[in-house]
Copies of this chain bind each other. A is one copy, B any other.
Amino acid sequence: MRQDPDGPYLRSGQVAERAGVNPQTLRYYERRGLIAEPARGPGGHRAYPPDTVTLLTVIKAAQRLGFTLDEVAELLDTGRRGHPTSDLRARAQAKIAEVDAKIVDLTTIRTALGQVVSAGCDSLTHCTCPDCPLPFADLARGPAPEESRPT
């Protein structure tokens, strides 16, 4: 049933479009070690096997689960070579703890915002509302506003 003896290889633009990512992102992931260097056509153009699209989907899903690209690269790597280990499971459990902590934190924040609204605060520094809950001095010492991490 094969139609093309050399396989139905895809060009970078096709892979990118099917996976819903920017073509530049493919080269970026290649540099980061997330996808293997693909074969090249005679003119030097990348020729991707079709399952690269699926791989990208997996990567995007893992990102959504809270893994960084470095972590995804590692997970893919341990998955590729060597027998299955419980590594993924352990990492997933650790992520669950992170996510739970984040949910707790957001819930605290939600509560505080609710207080601002229901008390009718009108200024961060010179609020005129009665029983003003501001300035949430204790809140300031919470976890830093985590930059540059998904989830």
Contacts and interface: CB of A to CB of B under 8 A. Distances in A.
A54 B124 contact: no
A65 interface: yes
Contact of A116 (B88, B136, B148): B88
- Copies of this chain present in the complex amount to 2
Interface residues of A, number: 64
A100 interface: yes
A93 B99 CA distance: 24
Interface of A: 20, 54-55, 57-58, 60-66, 72, 75-76, 78-80, 84-89, 92-93, 95-96, 99-100, 102-103, 106-107, 109-110, 112-114, 116-117, 120-128, 134-137, 139-142, 145-148, 150-151
